[in-house]
Structure 1
């Protein structure tokens, strides 16, 4: 039995306990920490100037700086910096950049939300700086310790601030991730195939697409109690070979042609739902789909009258042409997921063993993804081949779905034949 396994498990247990129980600093404790931070900055500044300047100039400039020194949290930067890099002067300028507009917009959303309760652990931190701190943790793969030094706050307090922020953002889910209806839905529709590829006589019967349905995995830390401490295989090798289902979250999404999320469902890795919730919702509320529209999804998702999936098994020219038509749309979701990961780099691995908190962080990132898109701030993440979203080989089918898919594929293939004559 490897003693390191026990140490690792015990360490994670302590970490989870601290995450649950660590209380924010009292005003007095915070004041003391801030005073200490100011003193450390002044001392470091003095030592630096002593080494680089003549003595008389040092004392004059020190007196001037002591009268004006202020400790301010660092302004959020979209590019990830190394923890060893020195902060540039621009990082402490007022909120005047494009990123500042996003910070102010998100702060306004939280300020005007139904819940006006004070965020836990804010401890005199302004709402805009709370947003900056939380976005830093989401967009950069940095530790709490690094953020603690950057914002001059206690590490445990930062933890509370971040999760309080995620909880507040989650309360806006219905506002920020919503299914389009009415005029908004009509404007969101786009052709199943480009008009130049479909003759006018076969346009009728070919549906328009409302969105692309798919999923991805968000790796998280395996919860306490799920580790097999009796195993002699190292933890890294176990994660690669055994892939415990609770070591990731299933993130199921529907996105429109712009990559905006219309639907988001987050579940444990062991809770596999390949579109059944979406299928049931559309069946109960058919008015959610405009007349003649559909969703497209990869194999493994249910084939219904509202959800079109590719053919599987032995394929003829007609089926292959239909599958190719659908495949052109799947890149939309792949790109949306790649952009989500590129902007919110913490999603590449969430070092969180608590499912509810991990879910809150992922949902926050999905909602803010829409906020940034609405503001015109687009991040083009690179779609890696191994990360392309794929489905299972076989999904559920219904007779109505089979009939509609066959009808549509006949129309599309008829156009192909007529175009070749």
Structure 2
């Protein structure tokens, strides 16, 4: 009796997983597998249907049903399974999995992003703090999303930690919901340059009028009237400045927690292996949208958030670049606002 299969034989796939096994899951098991509740998945199915994300008959094959396609995408994002394993689980060809995921990801980015990731009209509702008459709307940071080696310009994507990545820049509020996301720059690009080339940099003076509201960033970012950063530690900081840095750090830790939750909920972001950088960036943004949908639905994901995986957490001392020096010359624009915040945090007495 032969111990091998004929390569031309039909591959064995799971049958009835979506129609029989998934409905039998307990609610907690369903959420554990797909990282969203049943109600949230149903809402996602409806939203994607309204966006026209589901395929028509293609090449004589039966199209993937609206009940299955979102589950395929969520399973892909929730796990680091191979496409072959996913196709077997859902009784699909590998090409069908890839096409369906690409179609749904495009729909999320093109049609759902603006609804679920947006700067709030009422910034006070989700603000991190309000001190001295200044609203701290949110916190900004960058996170490295590990990717497979690109086909072109491989060295540009190698970050300071030595692996290929894309930088995800995000601003979140106190509840860890993202209110701005931007990605696509290679891992070798400094956070300050990513920020300067993002739409947020140009929009921030309008979104955060001087003296009224700000966002907090770490020392990698430029100090402006709208973006407040800690004092750079040159070894001569006063006790007051050190205390201020501590207060800033306590308030901006929420963005690190948001990144940890994003990667803990959608574990595919721990390593994205895709052929196209364009598809990779859309997948990252789509995961951010789904992250917000979960939080808006009341799922804080306390059991999904994980400790830092090395991409964020401890601040890394970065060698001085010409870009950093250029930003230092612009510090005076944010210095008065930072002084105002420092007085609000610490009072006028501490020196």
Q: TM-score range with shorter-chain normalisation?
A: 0.7 to 0.9
What is the alpha-carbon distance in structure 2 between the residues aligned to residue 305 and residue 240 of structure 1? 29
What is the TM-score normalised by the length of structure 1? 0.66
Do 1:255 and 1:263's aligned partners in 2 also have CA atoms closer than 8 Å?
yes
Aligned alpha-carbon RMSD (Å) = 3.2
Q: CA deviation at 1:293?
A: 1.8
Q: CA deviation at 1:90?
A: 5.0
User: Judging changes above 3 Å, is the alpha-carbon distance between structure 1 residues 241 and 174 closer, same or farther for their aligned structure 2 residues?
Assistant: closer
What is the alpha-carbon distance in structure 2 between the residues aligned to residue 169 and residue 289 of structure 1? 31
User: Judging changes above 3 Å, is the alpha-carbon distance between structure 1 residues 344 and 289 closer, same or farther for their aligned structure 2 residues?
Assistant: farther
Q: Does 1:259 align with 2:183?
A: no
User: Judging changes above 3 Å, is the alpha-carbon distance between structure 1 residues 291 and 72 closer, same or farther for their aligned structure 2 residues?
Assistant: farther
Aligned residue for 2:230?
A: 310
Do 1:220 and 1:353's aligned partners in 2 also have CA atoms closer than 8 Å?
no
Aligned residue for 2:335?
A: 402
Aligned residue for 2:308?
A: 384
SS of the equivalent of 2:97 reads helix
Looking at secondary structure, tell me which structure has more helix per residue.
Answer: 1
Aligned residue for 2:134?
A: 207
Select which of 37, 42, 45 maps to 1:104.
42
Q: Does 1:187 align with 2:111?
A: no
User: Judging changes above 3 Å, is the alpha-carbon distance between structure 1 residues 149 and 353 closer, same or farther for their aligned structure 2 residues?
Assistant: closer
Structure-to-structure mapping, 1:140-219, within 5 angstroms: 140-171=79-110, 172-181=112-121, 184-191=122-129, 205=132, 207-219=134-146
Structure-to-structure mapping, 1:197-276, within 5 angstroms: 205=132, 207-226=134-153, 243=162, 247-269=164-186, 270-272=188-190, 273-276=193-196
SS of the equivalent of 1:387 reads coil
Superposed CA offset, 1:126-172 (max 9, x none): 11210001100000111111111111111121111111111111112
What is the alpha-carbon distance in structure 2 between the residues aligned to residue 95 and residue 128 of structure 1? 18
Superposed CA offset, 1:18-56 (max 9, x none): xxxxxxxxxxxxxx97xx86xx88xxxxxxxxxxxxxxx
Aligned residue for 1:93?
A: 24
User: Judging changes above 3 Å, is the alpha-carbon distance between structure 1 residues 120 and 224 closer, same or farther for their aligned structure 2 residues?
Assistant: farther
SS of the equivalent of 2:183 reads strand
Aligned residue for 1:73?
A: 17
Q: CA deviation at 1:212?
A: 0.4
Do 2:145 and 2:269's aligned partners in 1 also have CA atoms closer than 8 Å?
yes
Q: CA deviation at 1:402?
A: 1.2
Do 2:223 and 2:334's aligned partners in 1 also have CA atoms closer than 8 Å?
yes
SS of the equivalent of 1:216 reads strand
What is the alpha-carbon distance in structure 2 between the residues aligned to residue 216 and residue 120 of structure 1? 39
SS of the equivalent of 1:298 reads coil
What is the alpha-carbon distance in structure 1 between the residues aligned to residue 279 and residue 229 of structure 2? 33
Do 1:216 and 1:250's aligned partners in 2 also have CA atoms closer than 8 Å?
yes
User: Judging changes above 3 Å, is the alpha-carbon distance between structure 1 residues 316 and 251 closer, same or farther for their aligned structure 2 residues?
Assistant: same
User: Judging changes above 3 Å, is the alpha-carbon distance between structure 1 residues 227 and 180 closer, same or farther for their aligned structure 2 residues?
Assistant: closer
Aligned residue for 2:246?
A: 324
Do 2:174 and 2:254's aligned partners in 1 also have CA atoms closer than 8 Å?
yes
Q: CA deviation at 1:173?
A: 1.4
Do 2:128 and 2:251's aligned partners in 1 also have CA atoms closer than 8 Å?
no
Larger Rg: 1
Do 1:138 and 1:345's aligned partners in 2 also have CA atoms closer than 8 Å?
yes
Count matched residues: 314
Gaps of 5+ in 2: 1-8, 32-36
Select which of 244, 260, 265 maps to 1:343.
265
Aligned residue for 2:6?
A: none
